[in-house]
Amino acid sequence: MLGTLEIREIEAPALRDNPLGDPSRRTLLVYLPPGGRAGLPAAYFLHGFTGSARGWTNVSAFQPTVPERLDGLVASGAIPPLVGVFPDGFTALGGTQWTNAPAVGRYQDHVAEDVVAFVDGTFGTDPRPASRAVVGRSSGGYGALAMGRDRPDVFGHLGCHAADACFEYCYLPDLPRAAAALLGSGPAEWLESMKARARETKLAGSDHPPLNVLAMAAHYSPNPDAPLGLDLPFEPETARIREEVWARWLEHDPVRFVPRRIEAFRRLRSVFLDCGTRDEFALRWGARMLAESLRAAGVEVRHEEFEDGHQGTGYRFDASLRWLAPRLGRG
């Protein structure tokens, strides 16, 4: 790398006393391009479910990491210099949707307030919303959309890769699989046994549906009086959909909340959306619906599809950065 990647530990006031007991001291990766850094725009990267800040440096054979890709784009002149910021959102439930969730913690405030203040104060980045982009993939893409909805006062640009959207398509198939895994044990008991097995051996592919459903329920249907502080969207013995709980989930669906909160999205200067045509969670359809809603409202949107699935698509940050980075700082 021609630039540098700094690893910092920062205190996160927004995460103090969070309901899961997760640490409020968090790892933060910061990419700094060669040369001066004062006054530069910044892109904030939100990782996906089960990811972490340090996960951005995981090496795959023959492939650059996302920070290395960012460095290559800057070094080649493909994009103007910018600071890359990689916060940590791992939780006791495997991850966050980067929102302020009563059963999980205030991860939106952590990024929009704790992390932004630290980066601006430490590295002298341009503090204008027009000079900040928030980009994410999968759960991170969902978090970017939620940030556009709630914090256009902080982020003026948004990049969203394969975000959880159109819940009927992306979540419903997991519900019977989660019900089968949880049958005969409560959510808390299953979670502890899964973690013990992961420590002794590894996570199984079949662990994803129940873990994902538990984490999403903590975000979309919290209940402080229920085990793990959440309501499941199905009956444990029959897997019958609990319509009242499922309705609460749908309130958090981007294909529904984007049209309802369109005035917030009109404040954004640009939005990038993409998804693979073979995405295993059928997320391409939600991306198409979002692009349609945003364009109808006059939001500047770039929507792309590419031939791939859901996993291993970090290379797509090249596309969003090439489109978003030249727009940072304008106006």
What's the pLDDT tens digit per position in 300-318? 999 999 999 999 999 999 9
- The rounded distance, in Å, linking the Cα atoms of 271 and 256 is 17
Class of CATH domain 4-166+254-327? alpha beta
Q: How confident is the model at residue 37, as a pLDDT?
A: 72
Containing 84, the helix (H) or strand (E) segment is strand 83-86
Per-chain mean pLDDT for the chain: 96
pLDDT of residue 61: 87
Locate all alpha helices (DSSP H) within the chain, ordered by sequence.
66-76, 107-109, 116-123, 139-150, 167-170, 174-182, 187-200, 208-220, 243-250, 254-260, 262-266, 283-296, 317-324
Mean per-residue pLDDT, 50-67: 94
Domain ranges of the chain: 4-166+254-327, 169-250
User: Percentage of the chain with pLDDT > 70?
Assistant: 99
The predicted-structure confidence for 68-113, as pLDDT tens digits, reads as follows 999 999 999 999 999 999 999 999 999 999 999 999 999 999 999 9
Q: Give the highest mean pLDDT range of 56-70, 151-165, 181-195.
A: 151-165
